[in-house]
A and B are shown apart, each in its own frame.
Chain A
Protein backbone atom coordinates (compact mmCIF):
# COMPACT_ATOMS: atom_id res chain seq x y z
CA UNK A 1 0.00 0.00 0.00
CA UNK A 2 2.80 2.40 0.97
CA UNK A 3 4.71 1.51 -2.16
CA UNK A 4 1.62 2.17 -4.26
CA UNK A 5 1.05 5.52 -2.57
CA UNK A 6 4.66 6.55 -3.16
CA UNK A 7 4.46 5.43 -6.78
CA UNK A 8 1.20 7.32 -7.32
CA UNK A 9 2.64 10.45 -5.70
CA UNK A 10 5.82 10.41 -7.76
CA UNK A 11 3.90 9.66 -10.95
CA UNK A 12 1.33 12.38 -10.38
CA UNK A 13 3.97 14.99 -9.57
CA UNK A 14 5.97 13.99 -12.64
CA UNK A 15 2.89 14.26 -14.81
CA UNK A 16 1.96 17.65 -13.39
CA UNK A 17 5.44 19.04 -13.87
CA UNK A 18 5.55 17.68 -17.38
CA UNK A 19 2.16 19.26 -18.05
CA UNK A 20 3.69 22.65 -17.21
CA UNK A 21 5.85 22.38 -20.28
CA UNK A 22 3.31 20.75 -22.55
CA UNK A 23 2.99 22.22 -26.01
CA UNK A 24 -0.48 23.20 -27.26
CA UNK A 25 -2.36 20.45 -29.05
CA UNK A 26 -4.10 22.74 -31.51
CA UNK A 27 -2.42 25.04 -34.04
CA UNK A 28 -2.59 28.79 -33.57
CA UNK A 29 -1.22 31.11 -30.94
CA UNK A 30 0.53 29.02 -28.27
CA UNK A 31 -0.65 29.58 -24.72
CA UNK A 32 1.75 31.38 -22.46
CA UNK A 33 3.41 29.47 -19.66
CA UNK A 34 1.26 31.46 -17.25
CA UNK A 35 -1.93 30.33 -18.98
CA UNK A 36 -0.80 26.74 -18.73
CA UNK A 37 0.08 27.21 -15.07
CA UNK A 38 -3.35 28.75 -14.46
CA UNK A 39 -4.92 25.47 -15.58
CA UNK A 40 -2.61 23.50 -13.31
CA UNK A 41 -3.33 25.82 -10.40
CA UNK A 42 -7.08 25.56 -10.96
CA UNK A 43 -7.00 21.79 -11.22
CA UNK A 44 -4.80 21.44 -8.14
CA UNK A 45 -7.14 23.67 -6.07
CA UNK A 46 -10.04 21.55 -7.36
CA UNK A 47 -8.24 18.42 -6.19
CA UNK A 48 -7.67 20.06 -2.80
CA UNK A 49 -11.37 20.96 -2.69
CA UNK A 50 -12.31 17.39 -3.54
CA UNK A 51 -10.32 16.21 -0.53
CA UNK A 52 -12.24 18.68 1.68
CA UNK A 53 -15.55 17.41 0.27
CA UNK A 54 -14.51 13.78 0.76
CA UNK A 55 -13.52 14.51 4.36
CA UNK A 56 -16.91 16.15 4.95
CA UNK A 57 -18.71 13.06 3.68
CA UNK A 58 -16.42 10.78 5.71
CA UNK A 59 -16.96 12.77 8.91
CA UNK A 60 -20.72 13.06 8.48
CA UNK A 61 -20.89 9.30 7.84
CA UNK A 62 -18.84 8.57 10.95
CA UNK A 63 -15.99 6.94 9.01
CA UNK A 64 -13.41 9.36 10.41
CA UNK A 65 -13.30 11.30 13.68
CA UNK A 66 -13.56 15.06 14.18
CA UNK A 67 -9.87 15.12 15.13
CA UNK A 68 -8.95 13.37 11.89
CA UNK A 69 -11.13 15.76 9.88
CA UNK A 70 -9.35 18.62 11.64
CA UNK A 71 -6.02 17.20 10.53
CA UNK A 72 -7.31 16.94 6.95
CA UNK A 73 -8.46 20.55 7.09
CA UNK A 74 -5.10 21.77 8.37
CA UNK A 75 -3.29 19.88 5.60
CA UNK A 76 -5.64 21.09 2.87
CA UNK A 77 -5.17 24.66 4.11
CA UNK A 78 -1.40 24.22 3.95
CA UNK A 79 -1.74 22.73 0.47
CA UNK A 80 -3.86 25.71 -0.59
CA UNK A 81 -1.17 28.07 0.76
CA UNK A 82 1.49 26.21 -1.23
CA UNK A 83 -0.66 26.39 -4.36
CA UNK A 84 -1.23 30.12 -3.85
CA UNK A 85 2.52 30.58 -3.44
CA UNK A 86 3.08 28.57 -6.63
CA UNK A 87 0.58 30.70 -8.51
CA UNK A 88 2.09 33.91 -7.15
CA UNK A 89 5.57 32.80 -8.23
CA UNK A 90 4.25 31.90 -11.69
CA UNK A 91 2.70 35.36 -12.01
CA UNK A 92 6.17 36.80 -11.36
CA UNK A 93 7.74 34.44 -13.89
CA UNK A 94 9.58 32.44 -11.26
CA UNK A 95 8.73 29.01 -12.62
CA UNK A 96 11.32 27.21 -10.49
CA UNK A 97 9.59 28.26 -7.26
CA UNK A 98 6.17 27.79 -8.88
CA UNK A 99 6.89 24.20 -9.91
CA UNK A 100 8.57 23.46 -6.58
CA UNK A 101 5.55 24.60 -4.59
CA UNK A 102 3.18 22.79 -6.93
CA UNK A 103 5.13 19.57 -6.47
CA UNK A 104 5.18 20.07 -2.69
CA UNK A 105 1.42 20.59 -2.67
CA UNK A 106 0.55 17.54 -4.76
CA UNK A 107 2.10 14.96 -2.42
CA UNK A 108 -0.32 15.48 0.49
CA UNK A 109 -3.29 15.75 -1.92
CA UNK A 110 -2.50 12.38 -3.45
CA UNK A 111 -1.94 10.74 -0.06
CA UNK A 112 -5.13 12.21 1.43
CA UNK A 113 -7.13 11.18 -1.64
CA UNK A 114 -5.88 7.63 -1.26
CA UNK A 115 -6.52 7.60 2.50
CA UNK A 116 -10.08 8.90 2.10
CA UNK A 117 -10.93 6.33 -0.57
CA UNK A 118 -9.34 3.37 1.20
CA UNK A 119 -11.67 0.40 1.70
CA UNK A 120 -12.88 -0.05 4.34
CA UNK A 121 -12.57 3.55 5.51
CA UNK A 122 -12.62 3.60 9.29
CA UNK A 123 -10.99 5.67 12.02
CA UNK A 124 -8.21 3.09 12.35
CA UNK A 125 -7.56 2.52 8.61
CA UNK A 126 -7.44 6.28 8.05
CA UNK A 127 -5.06 6.70 10.98
CA UNK A 128 -2.73 4.03 9.64
CA UNK A 129 -2.83 5.48 6.13
CA UNK A 130 -2.31 9.11 7.16
CA UNK A 131 0.23 8.47 9.94
CA UNK A 132 3.17 10.03 8.15
CA UNK A 133 1.21 12.76 6.41
CA UNK A 134 2.87 16.16 6.70
CA UNK A 135 1.95 19.58 5.35
CA UNK A 136 3.92 20.81 2.33
CA UNK A 137 6.94 23.03 2.88
CA UNK A 138 6.32 26.28 1.05
CA UNK A 139 9.25 27.85 -0.83
CA UNK A 140 9.37 31.57 -1.42
Chain B
Protein backbone atom coordinates (compact mmCIF):
# COMPACT_ATOMS: atom_id res chain seq x y z
CA UNK B 1 0.00 0.00 0.00
CA UNK B 2 1.49 3.31 -1.05
CA UNK B 3 0.92 6.88 0.06
CA UNK B 4 -0.52 7.58 -3.38
CA UNK B 5 -3.21 4.95 -2.82
CA UNK B 6 -4.08 6.46 0.56
CA UNK B 7 -4.36 9.88 -1.06
CA UNK B 8 -6.61 8.51 -3.79
CA UNK B 9 -8.97 6.91 -1.28
CA UNK B 10 -9.10 9.99 0.94
CA UNK B 11 -9.67 12.22 -2.05
CA UNK B 12 -12.65 10.12 -3.02
CA UNK B 13 -14.05 9.98 0.50
CA UNK B 14 -13.49 13.44 1.77
CA UNK B 15 -13.09 15.59 -1.30
CA UNK B 16 -10.25 18.03 -1.65
CA UNK B 17 -8.86 18.64 1.81
CA UNK B 18 -5.24 19.68 1.32
CA UNK B 19 -4.31 19.89 4.99
CA UNK B 20 -5.69 16.45 5.78
CA UNK B 21 -4.11 14.84 2.74
CA UNK B 22 -0.76 16.41 3.57
CA UNK B 23 -0.96 15.05 7.11
CA UNK B 24 -1.77 11.53 5.95
CA UNK B 25 1.08 11.77 3.48
CA UNK B 26 3.32 12.82 6.33
CA UNK B 27 2.13 9.89 8.45
CA UNK B 28 2.86 7.40 5.70
CA UNK B 29 6.32 8.83 5.08
CA UNK B 30 7.21 8.41 8.75
CA UNK B 31 7.83 12.13 9.34
CA UNK B 32 7.02 13.68 12.69
CA UNK B 33 4.37 16.36 13.17
CA UNK B 34 5.33 19.42 15.19
CA UNK B 35 3.65 19.67 18.59
CA UNK B 36 2.40 23.12 17.61
CA UNK B 37 0.67 21.62 14.56
CA UNK B 38 -1.07 19.03 16.73
CA UNK B 39 -2.17 21.77 19.14
CA UNK B 40 -3.50 23.86 16.27
CA UNK B 41 -5.49 20.90 14.94
CA UNK B 42 -6.95 20.20 18.38
CA UNK B 43 -7.89 23.86 18.82
CA UNK B 44 -9.51 23.94 15.40
CA UNK B 45 -11.60 20.90 16.31
CA UNK B 46 -12.81 22.74 19.43
CA UNK B 47 -13.68 25.84 17.42
CA UNK B 48 -15.53 23.94 14.70
CA UNK B 49 -17.34 21.82 17.27
CA UNK B 50 -18.55 24.97 19.03
CA UNK B 51 -19.78 26.42 15.72
CA UNK B 52 -21.82 23.30 14.93
CA UNK B 53 -23.15 23.11 18.47
CA UNK B 54 -24.31 26.74 18.33
CA UNK B 55 -25.95 26.21 14.95
CA UNK B 56 -27.81 23.16 16.26
CA UNK B 57 -29.06 25.16 19.24
CA UNK B 58 -30.14 27.98 16.94
CA UNK B 59 -32.06 25.63 14.65
CA UNK B 60 -33.72 23.87 17.55
CA UNK B 61 -34.78 27.19 19.05
CA UNK B 62 -36.25 28.26 15.72
CA UNK B 63 -38.13 25.01 15.23
CA UNK B 64 -38.43 23.01 18.45
CA UNK B 65 -38.34 19.23 17.84
CA UNK B 66 -41.74 17.60 18.03
CA UNK B 67 -42.48 15.71 21.24
CA UNK B 68 -41.48 12.06 20.98
Contacts and interface: CB of A to CB of B under 8 A. Distances in A.
B65 A76 contact: no
Nearest to A48: B45
How many of chain B's residues touch chain A, expressed as a range? Answer: 35 or more
A89 B22 CA distance: 24
Given A12-B13, A45-B45, A73-B56, A38 B6 contact: no
A39 interface: yes
Interface of B: 1, 5-6, 9-10, 12-15, 17, 19-20, 23-24, 26-33, 37-38, 41-42, 44-45, 48-49, 51-53, 55-56, 59-60, 63, 65
Interface of A: 8, 11-12, 14-16, 18-19, 22-26, 30-31, 35-36, 38-43, 45-50, 52-53, 55-56, 59-60, 65-67, 69-70, 72-73, 76-77, 80, 110, 113-114, 117
